[in-house]
């Protein structure tokens, strides 16, 4: 249990380093420098390990890990991990995409691509359940997807 708490706090701190407080150029430049420094370390490998070690963790941990992973490895890498991940990882990835799109206006040109990939994540979970049945986690994933599509209009 203590190890999990440490991992949770580390990814919360990592996200805070990577998420710009404002959209001014100085703040964005600081984030770019942080991404560059972390990209030169094994941070991406450690983030991937979280998806393997804690695939059904609380959404806060997974959201922070997904946000950091997308910042360091790219959105395409995050979507690839989410495609083979649990419904919790998919939901956390969609939430991270919402947060990224809110923080970085330059993602708007990729809106259609992001929306289509996220739709695939939702569809893969919806079709797993029996007809007319959806678990609470799938409903949450779907809600987050709807929020993402609203952001990307």
Q: Are 92 and 65 in contact (CB under 8 A)?
A: yes
- Please write the tens of the pLDDT for every residue from 77-119: 999 999 999 999 999 999 999 999 888 888 888 888 998 999 9
N- to C-terminal Cα separation, the chain: 41
Structure tokens at 151: 């952001």
Compute the Cα dihedral for 85, 88, 89, 90 and give only its sign: positive
Residue 23 φ/ψ region, left for φ over 0, alpha for ψ in the -120 to 50 degree band, beta for the rest: alpha
Residue 132: band (very low, low, confident or very high) from pLDDT cuts 50, 70, 90: low
Determine whether 100 is exposed, middle or buried from the number of CB atoms within 10 Å of its CB (0-12, 13-18, 19+).
buried
* 3-state DSSP assignment of residue 91: helix
- Please write the tens of the pLDDT for every residue from 5-43: 888 898 899 999 899 888 788 888 899 999 998 888 888
pLDDT of residue 129: 59
Q: Which of 54, 56, 55, 65 is nearest to 3 (CA)?
A: 54
């Amino acid at each position: 249990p203590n190890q999990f708490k440490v991992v949770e706090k580390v990814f919360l701190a990592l996200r805070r380093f990577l998420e710009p407080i404002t959209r001014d150029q100085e703040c964005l430049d600081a984030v770019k420098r942080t991404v560059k420094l972390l990209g030169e370390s094994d941070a991406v490998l450690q983030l991937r390990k979280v998806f393997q070690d804690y695939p059904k963790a609380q959404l806060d941990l997974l959201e922070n890990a997904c946000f950091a992973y997308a910042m360091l490895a790219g959105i395409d890498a995050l979507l690839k991990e989410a495609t083979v991940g649990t419904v919790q990882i998919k939901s956390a990835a969609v939430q991270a995409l919402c947060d990224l799109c809110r923080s970085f206006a330059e993602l708007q040109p990729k809106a259609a691509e992001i929306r289509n990939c996220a739709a695939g994540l939702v569809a893969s979970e919806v079709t797993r359940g029996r007809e007319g049945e959806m678990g609470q986690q799938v409903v949450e994933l779907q809600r987050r997807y709807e929020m993402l599509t609203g952001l990307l209009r």
